[in-house]
Chain A
């Protein structure tokens, strides 16, 4: 098969479909990591460089809960997610908010600094070696005909969809959710109806961190933990956020799936190393024709 002058291997449709499906599974994790990032960007207007470090930290928490207490990684979510919320809340209110004095360019550097501190602390305490959780069901799964889906993949997909939906409900129906959306656009108006803006910022950062902790729980059964693991996912999550439209939930979800499927198909046709390049190609193409991303709104 020839495409744009490239001689591509030919595959049966079953292989292609199977590859695309595994891309959907992968994309659901990207979407969940991106969800926290896009929420924080949408409200606080900050690019959270610490997001990857927080993902890594949450993965270590899941790992050690399994290692030391024998807790299943999925059950660990019940501890790690609330813990991450509190950690994120405190980090924003006590460190990022305080150090930045409300100036965006400082916030950017502060989150970068936080990520460096967390990553080096992880290197110091946990060393650079990879650690994996062994779960008894990691190779069990369901035969979908064109591909075999293991339970961790299925749970990741279901979990991501469920969490995105739950977050959307929270943002639409609760006063806190409405306040988060209000603060995103009109801070002084928010103060005048009695919204504590600093509190809402910290709540938002906490929820974003909780999302990334949920992603960590879903990742640990299939990915080994090491201090650099955050980079891998967050670079792609940044792409997903920009692709889907900064601040858009549905954009994060669709963008995540799009990137996941593109990556897997790219790998299938171009090989492991070249395959990842397709992400950037799709990214550039979307931004050429839709600079605000797929679901982004023009600012202002």
Chain B
């Protein structure tokens, strides 16, 4: 589905990604693990067209999407729910969701809106409230809901558990699994290693802009390197 080949990217003189190879198959949950500053968000922003890679290629269903603008990437069905949520604080929850289908999924807006509030009944209660007044957990629901409005084929979730209580994190990961069962593929970027590995099919570990480890999650859970660096055991 998504195939990233030898991707290099950075900001100005600073090289962040130094040859990333990564792929996601249809229907998979693939986790990307790594510490702060390893290049996780940079990779996401280059996939979603916020930045343009300096070298390498990104293929989506065989089509080269390297360097496309963000609205073109959205049009393809790759929806990036960013770190920090990036919801629109000054407009209502409902309007936030409606703008989720600004470009893609316009036709089925009404049905998708019903589907999203079916998944997040809390959002319906807050429909006319300004999104900036929501709690952190509600904002994360809104960010994912807004992403769902665009009828994604691949959803990139950047640190969805950040700032959430353990209970909400549990809920969030359950939700990702549920959505995955409906056929939606996920690229899950997380610092929450244990729980990510539990729900993901495969995982990649990124360090200093390079993939240092990858494989099925079962195998990774037994990997002594990973255990030492990320699980502290």
Contact = CB atoms under 8 A, between A and B. Distances in A.
Interface of A: 175, 178-179, 181-182, 184-186, 188-196
A178 B95 contact: yes
- Chain B: interface secondary structure? loop
From DSSP, what is the main secondary structure of chain A's interface residues? helix
A175 to B, nearest CB: 6
B153 interface: no
B87 A192 contact: no
Contacts of B82: 188-189, 192
Interface residues on B, range: 20 to 34
B125 to A, nearest CB: 21
Contact of A193 (B85, B90, B102): B102
Contacts of B69: 196
Given A188-B50, A189-B82, A189-B85, 11 more contacts: A181-B90, A182-B95, A182-B96, A186-B86, A188-B86, A189-B87, A191-B70, A191-B71, A192-B86, A193-B74, A195-B103
A195 B71 contact: yes
A158 to B, nearest CB: 30
Interface of B: 48-50, 69-71, 74-75, 79-82, 85-91, 95-96, 98-100, 102-104, 146, 150
B126 to A, nearest CB: 17
Nearest to A195: B102
Contact of B87 (A175, A181, A184, A186): A186
Nearest to B146: A193
A178 B98 contact: yes
A193 B98 CA distance: 10
Contacts of A185: 88-90
B87 to A, nearest CB: 6
A139 B51 CA distance: 60
Given A186-B87, A186-B89, A194-B75, A178 B70 contact: no
B88 A189 contact: yes
17 contacts: A175-B99, A178-B91, A178-B102, A181-B90, A181-B91, A182-B95, A184-B90, A186-B88, A188-B50, A189-B88, A191-B71, A192-B81, A192-B86, A193-B74, A193-B100, A194-B70, A194-B71
Closest 10 CB pairs of A and B: A194-B103, A189-B86, A194-B74, A182-B88, A191-B70, A194-B71, A185-B90, A186-B88, A196-B71, A178-B95
Contact of B88 (A175, A181, A196): A181
B152 to A, nearest CB: 11
Nearest to A171: B91
A196 B72 CA distance: 10
Contacts of B48: 192
A233 to B, nearest CB: 29
Contacts of A195: 71, 99, 102-103
A179 B99 contact: yes
Contacts of B96: 182
Contacts of B104: 194
B86 A178 contact: no
B74 A192 contact: yes
Contacts of B102: 175, 178-179, 193-195
Nearest to B88: A182
A196 B68 CA distance: 12
Contacts of A196: 69, 71
Interface centre among A179, A181, A192, A194 (most CB of B within 10 A): A192
Contacts of B150: 193-194
A181 B80 CA distance: 21
